Every structure is written in structure tokens, then in C-alpha cells.
């Protein structure tokens, strides 16, 4: 396969892309690396992975292969030297099971830098649980594949360079919970295929910080906070409206007969209360609240009352 053209669409900090880089390095396959900007995806990426539009994509002689674990298996089948998957069907199935399990780390780890409070704590707890399960599977073996660095190691070791970001965001030590995994990670890093493919943990952390800032700009408050804020605005608005009405009614009762003086003022106050409710209604629906917080019917009594008063004033 000397004339093979192998192109990898990837991004530096992607654990999924790193899997492919390691597999290609293990097999000694030269490839062209193309860094993608995921905020402005290249036409080639969109053409090669039209379904998910995600990296990594391996383009082998013009044909795309998507999804990191599928790519690694493809590489293992096409370039047979230094097999990564075991030949025994049962062992192969087990290796695929654990490689698939590894990605639970991605979703739990993500919560450490995309969420706060209870959600972040639950992400940390889940992450530790998943890591401990993986530590149990590793046991006292040097690699997940036994004595040989194999498919599960390729799938999992890219997360090793994310550990620093997880630990810093979650303020905990993975080594404290999973010392064997840390020893395994260091052992893997002694392989050139791994050390040259993994991102610098500090660069991963920098990336996480940038993403955190971007998220904070997009969504300064969580959806739950937002809901609470809309509800309390609504409640405050109702209290203000009712207080305004009481003031007007009491003032009228203690001064002159209700609609003798300036009925238009009374009308104006009631109308403004009415419009205030409708405005809140618009805000709530524009924010895609589930169901309108204030329905037009809530404002109907104010509208009727104000119209009656105005009509009486005109007579
Ligand atoms: N299951 C996929 C995950 C790939 C993935 O999530 N890639 C991310 C980068 S780490 C991506 O391309 N994101 C761009 C997007 O979601 O638009 C795999 O194993 O290849």
C-alpha cells in the first residue's frame, strides 16, 4: 500500500482525533494532518462527513471514514501489521465493549467545565465512578490489551491528557481514586506513538478555559435561573400593578366620587397596567418559556375595567 493517500481531518485537542493519530503511528502509516476550525468547518469536512459534520475523518484514497473507533478498526483491518484488536472473536467483542464504554468519560468530564453547582458535582462523581470501573478492568495488567498495547488502550489513552483539565476544573486528584490508571497512562506515554499524538495537558486546559468563557458569554445564566427570574419578574409586576390600582381606587374614594375628576387618568393607569402585562407576555414567549407566563386573558379584566371607566367619563 505504498501509494496510499491518507488525510486526517482533525483538531489538536480532540481525544477522538488522537485515537486515529495513535493508530496510524502504531502502524507507521504516513498521513497528511489537516487541522479543522470547528467554528468555521471546511467544505471538505462537510462533504466528507455530511451526517455528523464532525472530526476526525480519515480520507483514504479519496474515500472518507468517520467515527474514531470505526476509523481505528478500519486502520487495523487495512494495515495488518501490528494488530490492535485481538484475533479471538470473544476477546475482540470484549475489546469493542470497553472501547465503547470509555466514551462515558467524555460526557461526565464535559460537565466539569460546562456546568456549575450540583450538576458539576454529579459530573465529578460520575467521572470518578467510570474511571474506577476502568481501573477495575485494567487490574494488574500493564495494558488493557494484556501485555500488548491494544485497541482499548488506543481508545482510552487520549483522555489521559485531559485528566489535568478535569482535575483542575473539578478540584480533585484522579490519582487519589485511580492510582493504577495513572501508572498505566505514564506507561503508555513511553510509547512514541502515544507521546507524539497526545496534546499537551496545559494546552487542553487552555482550550477548556476558552470554551468556558465562550459558554459564559452565550449563556450567562442557566435555564433554571432564567425561569426563576422570569417567574419572579412576573410576580413583582403583578404586585406593582395591584398596588397601583389600590392607590388609584383609594385616592378616588377619599377625594371625589369615582369618575368625576379626570377619568382619563384612571383609564391611563389601568391601560398601562394592561400593556405592562402584555409586554411581559411578549418577553415570556420570545424567551420560549413553556406556555405563556401571562396570557392575554389575565389582562382582560384590566382592559374591561379601564374601558368602562373611560366610557363612564365620556358620558
Ligand atoms: N463519536 C465521535 C465524536 C466526534 C466528535 O465529537 N468530534 C468533535 C470534536 S472533539 C466535533 O467534531 N465537534 C464539532 C461539532 O460538534 O460540530 C467520534 O468518536 O469520532
Residue 57 Cα to ligand 1 midpoint, Å, equals 10
Residue 273 Cα to ligand 1 midpoint, Å, equals 50
In whole angstroms, what is the distance from residue 225 CA to residue 223 CA? 5
Mean pLDDT of the chain: 84
Assess whether pLDDT exceeds 70 at residue 101: yes
Residue 203 Cα to ligand 1 midpoint, Å, equals 18
Residue to substitute in 23, 38, 54 for testing ligand 1 pocket (most ligand atoms within 8 angstroms of CB): 54
Residue 248 Cα to ligand 1 midpoint, Å, equals 61
Residue 39 Cα to ligand 1 midpoint, Å, equals 12
Nearest residue (by CA) to ligand 1, atom 17, is 54
Residue 244 Cα to ligand 1 midpoint, Å, equals 55
The pLDDT score that the predictor gives to residue 313 is 55
Cβ atoms of 109 and 123 closer than 8 Å: yes
Residue 56 Cα to ligand 1 midpoint, Å, equals 7
Region 101-116 average pLDDT: 96
Point out the ligand 1 atom lying closest to the alpha carbon of residue 71: 20
Q: Give the contacts of 221 (CB within 8 A, at least 6 positions apart).
A: 229
Region 240-244 average pLDDT: 68
Q: What are phi and psi of 64, to 5 degrees?
A: -85, 145
Point out the ligand 1 atom lying closest to the alpha carbon of residue 14: 10
The pLDDT score that the predictor gives to residue 243 is 73
**Each residue's pLDDT tens digit, 13-64:** 999 999 999 999 999 999 999 999 999 999 999 999 999 999 999 999 999 9
Point out the ligand 1 atom lying closest to the alpha carbon of residue 67: 20
The pLDDT score that the predictor gives to residue 227 is 56
Name the percent of the chain lying above pLDDT 90.
Answer: 66
Q: What is the pTM of this model?
A: 0.72
Assess whether pLDDT exceeds 50 at residue 169: yes
Nearest residue (by CA) to ligand 1, atom 1, is 67
Cβ atoms of 156 and 102 closer than 8 Å: yes
Residue to substitute in 52, 72, 159 for testing ligand 1 pocket (most ligand atoms within 8 angstroms of CB): 52
Residue 115 Cα to ligand 1 midpoint, Å, equals 19
Point out the ligand 1 atom lying closest to the alpha carbon of residue 15: 10
C-alpha cell at 284: 415570556
In whole angstroms, what is the distance from residue 215 CA to residue 222 CA? 11
Band (247; pLDDT cuts 50, 70, 90)? confident
Point out the ligand 1 atom lying closest to the alpha carbon of residue 54: 12
List ligand 1's pocket residues with C-beta within 6 A.
Answer: 14, 16, 38, 53-56, 67-69
Band (174; pLDDT cuts 50, 70, 90)? very high
The pLDDT score that the predictor gives to residue 26 is 98
Assess whether pLDDT exceeds 60 at residue 299: no
Cβ atoms of 69 and 152 closer than 8 Å: no
The pLDDT score that the predictor gives to residue 142 is 98
Q: Does residue 56 have a cis peptide bond before it, meaning omega lies within 30 degrees of 0?
A: yes
Q: Give the contacts of 44 (CB within 8 A, at least 6 positions apart).
A: 9, 34
Amino acid at each position: 500500500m505504498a501509494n496510499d493517500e491518507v488525510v486526517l481531518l482533525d483538531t489538536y485537542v480532540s481525544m477522538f482525533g488522537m485515537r486515529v493519530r495513535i493508530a496510524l503511528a502504531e502502524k507507521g502509516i504516513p498521513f497528511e494532518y489537516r487541522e479543522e476550525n470547528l467554528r468555521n468547518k471546511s467544505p471538505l469536512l462537510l462533504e466528507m462527513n455530511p451526517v455528523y459534520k464532525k472530526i476526525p475523518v480519515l480520507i483514504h484514497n479519496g474515500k472518507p471514514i468517520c467515527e474514531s473507533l470505526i476509523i481505528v478498526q478500519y486502520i487495523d483491518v487495512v494495515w495488518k501489521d501490528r494488530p490492535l484488536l485481538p484475533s479471538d472473536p470473544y476477546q475482540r467483542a470484549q475489546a469493542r465493549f470497553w472501547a465503547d464504554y470509555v466514551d462515558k468519560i467524555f460526557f461526565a468530564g464535559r460537565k466539569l467545565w460546562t456546568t456549575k453547582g450540583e450538576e458539576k458535582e454529579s459530573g465529578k462523581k460520575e467521572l470518578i465512578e467510570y474511571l474506577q470501573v476502568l481501573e477495575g478492568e485494567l487490574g494488574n495488567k500493564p495494558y488493557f490489551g494484556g501485555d500488548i498495547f491494544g485497541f482499548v488502550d488506543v481508545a482510552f489513552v487520549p483522555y489521559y491528557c485531559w485528566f489535568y483539565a478535569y482535575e483542575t476544573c473539578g478540584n480533585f486528584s484522579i490519582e487519589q481514586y485511580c492510582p493504577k490508571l495513572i501508572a498505566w497512562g505514564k506507561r503508555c506515554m513511553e510509547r512514541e506513538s502515544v507521546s507524539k499524538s497526545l496534546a499537551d495537558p496545559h494546552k487542553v486546559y487552555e482550550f477548556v478555559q476558552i470554551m468556558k468563557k465562550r459558554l459564559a458569554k452565550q449563556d450567562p445564566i442557566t435555564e433554571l435561573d432564567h425561569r426563576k427570574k422570569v417567574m419572579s419578574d412576573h410576580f413583582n409586576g403583578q404586585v406593582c400593578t395591584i398596588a397601583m390600582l389600590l392607590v388609584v381606587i383609594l385616592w378616588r374614594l377619599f377625594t371625589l366620587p369615582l369618575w368625576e375628576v379626570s377619568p382619563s387618568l384612571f383609564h391611563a393607569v389601568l391601560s398601562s397596567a394592561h400593556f405592562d402585562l402584555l409586554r411581559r407576555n411578549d418577553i415570556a414567549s420570545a424567551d420560549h418559556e413553556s406556555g405563556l407566563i401571562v396570557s392575554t386573558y389575565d389582562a382582560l379584566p384590566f382592559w374591561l375595567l379601564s374601558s368602562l371607566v373611560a366610557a363612564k367619563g365620556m358620558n
